[in-house]
């Protein structure tokens, strides 16, 4: 039995230095700091243009204390493949290769390269930090922006379409380890990252990442809002390990319990202003049906 | 040892001899036999390399960029639309100063679809910051691949080795297979100035501001504009390196040529036909016939297009009466790109020849010896250049 991870026994070694260029309240700054502690020093990072490019700093100063290759938008997973190829050629397979992309860099422009790399079975961990729009370019809609959300390219009526389910797309590739996580539950992310390192082949993380500037809420509420997304049953924490789905952490504890209404989450953010009562009711129904399926299927949950 | 193989296999054997460690490629006609051969060599254990069958050309170059940044010698190959799909990555590779070598098996670009040869693919990528070499036969293909790695790794600039689709890629010719020990003597192991390494972390290709900025030790680092200036300056300097490598190649292998311009019967010629790739060897037959008929003409094949060997061009052609530039590509709305470059290189010459331009062979249109002879007979006389506009050979309209 291993010791339960808490903030008290996390490594004190920091790989993301303070004074970086993230916005205040940035969900990414929480998960990047935490996951890098789990990845450890023997890691090479691959990053496409995204908020993370800015967070890491402007040449010649960098806040990240791990080697990092900045690559073109569409090529993240292919570039991770190239790093791995060179490491194999040089007998340096002990080094972990971790790619970090936003939702656009993963679900939209980066999807082809990611799919190709997963099909080839490349031995990397891919982290998608999903802030549900193109935040770095100023809040344009992406493939993971939820329905009815206001962005600068869906400015009045909100986005008409549903968001795509990227973990399900990854699951269709037959990956051995897929996990969701939330910036509001960093220890859960830490433990899952440590676990992911025990697998080989492509591993995928989809991380719900609150963004005060893009979502329209005060910067001191990031953690609270991320928790609400999980507590209302909108965003679920789970693992898909060798094809087996399992709720984890807070989501696992919610089975059989009453959830707060999704309206509680929607009213905290300016981006949901276009939602009518009917819209909210429809989303509530979708969430209720999803959780009914979990209950009926007897989805296993960790303790 | 002399062997008889296709141009694509000549290229593959060059990559094997150069001991590329990471190879990534996506199939496109007429490049495919080259990558098939490399995958076979790796699968058979005859070549110790990582062969990565990617899902696109964009990813092929992404793999090379990342593997090169991690300190391995890398190779890829493509043609036509595949090269265009790489355009973003071509610029990235050059900007990041990575010594990647790529064969471009020249093919026309769609739309409409064509699989046949012209030079529009590589010429259209002229300003991506890559060195472009053009081969005329199979010996030049295999030798150029080996020389390209030496060149790329000396100047930290990626190199394209371009050769004509089908005309060279799918035809068989005898050529000398370089001895592996001699290749090792010529081409030392790749030892990059920096590589991604957790024991010495660096953040590569970060956002760079318009102005220079001090680092944490208060030492001034170059800004974007300085980085661009360095690439340009090193590209110009690489003209000298190309010459040095040609000399060193001769010392080791006993064969070489003019690194920039391959002349044929130009010394005593009043007029010179100029082109790139296999067409220059095709033109040799035409020149021989015209010489018999008393036309004072030779042919020069340009082997380097970027950096442009402007001094070599000016020296070679100053004092000639006329140059006739044959091109399998053009800059739409103006004229052949090589034509414009040659005119610019000659601008400062006191004895400047007239320069004419013929566009031919686009999308694999057959280039007939009789048509070349007719164009040269018509052009190799004083006052034949009545207009700066490009003329087209073989156009049926």
pLDDT by residue (tens digit) across A94-103? Answer: 999 999 999 9
Cβ of residue A13 closer than 8 Å to a chain B Cβ: no
Q: What is the pLDDT along chain A (303 residues), one digit of tens a residue?
A: 468 999 899 999 999 988 889 999 999 999 999 999 999 999 999 999 999 999 999 999 999 999 999 999 999 999 999 999 999 999 999 999 999 999 999 999 999 999 999 999 999 999 999 999 999 999 999 999 999 999 999 999 999 999 999 999 999 999 999 999 999 999 999 999 999 999 999 999 999 999 999 999 999 999 999 999 999 999 999 999 999 999 999 999 999 999 999 999 999 999 999 999 999 999 999 999 999 999 998 877 664
Show contacts of B343-347: CB within 8 Å, 24+ apart: B344/B310, B345/B308, B345/B310, B345/B311, B345/B313, B345/B314, B346/B313, B346/B314, B346/B317, B346/B318
Size of interface A-B (CB pairs under 8 A): 170
Question: Does the CB of B72 have a partner CB in chain A at under 8 Å?
Answer: yes
Interface contact flag, B56 A54, Cβ < 8 Å = no
CB contact under 8 A, B58 and A88: no
Q: Do B2-186 and B261-392 agree at the fold level?
A: yes
Candidates B362, B343, B361; CA nearest to B353 is: B343
Which of chain B's residues have a Cβ under 8 Å away from the Cβ of A83? Answer: 66-67, 69-70, 196
Residue carrying the six token digits 């991690």: B70
Cβ–Cβ contact B154 with A under 8 A: no
Query: In which region does residue A298 sit, left (phi positive, over 0), alpha (psi from -120 to 50) or beta (all else)?
Result: left
Query: Looking at residue A3, what DSSP letter applies?
Result: P
Indicate the domain borders of chain A: 27-297
Q: How far is B110 from chain A (nearest CA, A)?
A: 22
Residue range A27-297 in CATH 1.10.1740.10? no
Work out the minimum CA distance from A130 to partner chain B, whole angstroms.
22
Neighbours of A278 (CB within 10 A): 8
ipTM of predicted assembly, 2 dp: 0.97
Identify which of B127, B120, B65, B75 has the alpha carbon closest to the alpha carbon of residue B96.
B65
- Name the A residues in 38-67 with CB < 8 Å from any B CB: 41-44, 46, 53-54, 56-62, 64-67
Window B:211-270, CB contacts with A under 8 Å? 213-216, 221
Does B66 contact A at CB distance below 8 Å?
yes
Is A18 exposed, middle or buried (CB count within 10 Å of its CB: 0-12, 13-18, 19+)?
exposed
Contact B62 A72 (CB under 8 A): yes
The DSSP 8-state label assigned to residue A75 in this structure reads G
Please report residues of A whose CB lies closer than 8 A to that of B66: 46, 69, 71, 78-83, 85-86
Q: Does domain B2-186 have CATH number 3.40.50.300?
A: no
β-bridge mates for residue A69, sequence order: A46, B204
Q: Which of residues 237-296 of A touch B (CB under 8 A)?
A: none
pLDDT in tens, chain B (397 residues): 999 999 999 999 999 999 999 999 999 999 999 999 999 999 999 999 999 999 999 999 999 999 999 999 999 999 999 999 999 999 999 999 999 999 999 999 999 999 999 999 999 999 999 999 999 999 999 999 999 999 999 999 999 999 999 999 999 999 999 999 999 999 999 999 899 999 999 999 999 999 999 998 999 999 999 999 999 999 999 999 999 999 999 999 999 889 999 999 999 999 999 999 999 999 999 999 999 999 999 999 999 999 999 999 999 999 999 999 999 999 999 999 999 999 999 999 999 999 999 999 999 999 999 999 999 999 999 989 888 999 999 999 9
Q: Which residue in A75, A88, A90, A95 has the most chain B C-beta atoms within 10 A of its own C-beta, making it the best mutation to test that interface?
A: A75
Question: In this complex, is the C-beta atom of A6 within 8 Å of any C-beta atom belonging to chain B?
Answer: no
Contact indicator for B279, B331 with CB cutoff of 8 Å:
no
Return the CATH number of B261-392, one of 3.40.50.1100, 3.10.580.10, 3.40.50.920, 3.50.50.60.
3.40.50.920
pTM for the model stands at: 0.97
Domain coordinates in residue numbering, chain B:
2-186, 261-392
Q: Which DSSP string do the residues of B352-377 spell out, in sequence order?
A: PPEEEEEE--GGG----HHHHHHHHH
Chain A CB contacts of B64 under 8 Å are: 82
B195 contacts on A by Cβ (under 8 Å) = 86
Q: In sequence order, which residues have a C-beta less than 8 Å from that of residue B344 and are 6 or more positions away?
A: B310
**Is the preceding omega at residue B261 within 30 degrees of 0, hence cis?**
no
Closest B-chain CA to A65: B201
């Amino acid at each position: 039995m291993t010791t339960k991870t808490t903030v008290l026994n996390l490594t004190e070694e920091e790989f993301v230095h303070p004074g970086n260029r993230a916005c205040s309240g940035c969900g990414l700054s929480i998960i990047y700091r935490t996951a890098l502690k789990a990845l450890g020093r023997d890691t090479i990072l691959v990053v496409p243009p995204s908020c993370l490019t800015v967070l890491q700093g402007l040449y010649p100063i960098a806040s990240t204390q791990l080697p990092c290759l900045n690559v073109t938008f569409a090529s993240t997973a292919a570039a991770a493949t190239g790093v791995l190829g060179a490491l194999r050629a040089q007998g340096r397979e002990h080094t972990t290769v971790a790619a970090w992309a936003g939702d656009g860099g993963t679900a939209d422009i980066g999807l082809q390269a990611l799919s190709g790399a997963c099909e080839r079975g490349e031995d990397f961990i891919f982290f998608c930090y999903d802030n549900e729009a193109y935040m770095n370019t100023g809040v344009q809609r992406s493939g993971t922006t939820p329905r009815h959300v206001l962005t600068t390219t869906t400015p009045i009526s909100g986005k008409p379409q549903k968001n795509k389910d990227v973990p399900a797309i990854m699951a269709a590739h037959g990956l051995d380890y897929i996990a969701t996580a939330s910036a509001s539950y960093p220890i859960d992310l830490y433990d899952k990252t440590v676990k992911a390192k025990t697998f080989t082949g492509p591993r995928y993380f989809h991380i719900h990442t609150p963004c005060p500037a893009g979502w329209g809420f005060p910067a001191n509420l990031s953690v609270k809002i991320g928790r609400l997304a999980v507590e209302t049953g909108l965003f679920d924490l789970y693992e898909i390990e060798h094809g087996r789905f399992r709720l984890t952490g807070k989501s696992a504890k919610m089975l059989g319990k009453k959830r707060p209404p999704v309206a509680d989450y929607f009213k905290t953010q300016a981006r949901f202003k276009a939602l009518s009562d009917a819209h909210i009711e429809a989303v509530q129904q979708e969430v209720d049906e999803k959780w009914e399926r979990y209950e009926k299927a007897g989805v296993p949950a960790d303790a | 040892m002399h062997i008889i193989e296709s141009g694509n296999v000549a290229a593959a054997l060059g990559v094997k001899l150069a001991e590329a460690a990471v190879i990534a490629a996506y199939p496109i006609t007429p490049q495919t036999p080259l990558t098939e051969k490399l995958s076979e060599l790796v699968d058979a254990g005859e070549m110790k390399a990582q062969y990565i069958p990617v899902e696109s050309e964009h990813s092929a170059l992404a793999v090379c960029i990342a593997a090169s940044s991690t300190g391995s010698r890398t190779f890829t190959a493509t043609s036509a639309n595949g090269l265009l799909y790489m355009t973003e990555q071509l610029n990235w590779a050059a900007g990041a100063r990575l010594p990647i070598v790529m064969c471009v098996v020249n093919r026309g670009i769609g739309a409409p679809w064509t699989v046949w040869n012209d030079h529009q693919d590589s010429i259209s990528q002229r300003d991506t910051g890559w060195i472009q070499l053009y081969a005329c036969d199979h010996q030049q293909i295999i030798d150029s691949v080996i020389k390209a790695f030496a060149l790329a790794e000396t100047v930290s600039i990626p190199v394209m080795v371009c050769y004509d689709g089908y005309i060279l890629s799918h035809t068989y010719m005898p050529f000398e297979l370089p001895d592996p020990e001699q290749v090792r003597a010529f081409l030392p192991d790749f030892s990059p100035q920096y590589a991604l390494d957790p024991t010495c972390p660096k953040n590569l290709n970060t956002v760079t501001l318009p102005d220079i900025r001090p680092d944490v030790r208060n030492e001034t680092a170059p800004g974007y504009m300085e980085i661009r200036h360095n690439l340009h300056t090193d590209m110009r300097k690489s003209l000298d390196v190309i010459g040095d490598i040609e000399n060193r190649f001769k010392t080791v292998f006993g064969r070489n040529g003019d690194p920039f311009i391959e002349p044929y019967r130009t010394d005593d010629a009043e007029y010179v036909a100029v082109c790139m790739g296999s067409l220059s060897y095709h033109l040799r037959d035409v020149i021989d016939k015209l010489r018999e008929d008393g036309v004072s003409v030779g042919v020069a094949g340009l082997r380097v297009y970027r950096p442009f060997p402007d001094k070599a061009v000016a020296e070679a052609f100053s004092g000639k009466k006329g140059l006739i530039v044959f091109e399998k590509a053009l800059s739409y709305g103006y004229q052949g790109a090589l034509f414009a470059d040659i005119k610019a290189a000659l601008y400062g010459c006191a004895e400047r020849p007239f320069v004419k331009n013929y566009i031919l062979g686009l999308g694999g249109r057959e280039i007939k010896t009789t048509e070349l002879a007719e164009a040269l007979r018509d052009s190799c006389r004083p006052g034949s250049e009545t207009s700066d506009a490009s003329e087209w050979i073989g156009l049926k309209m």
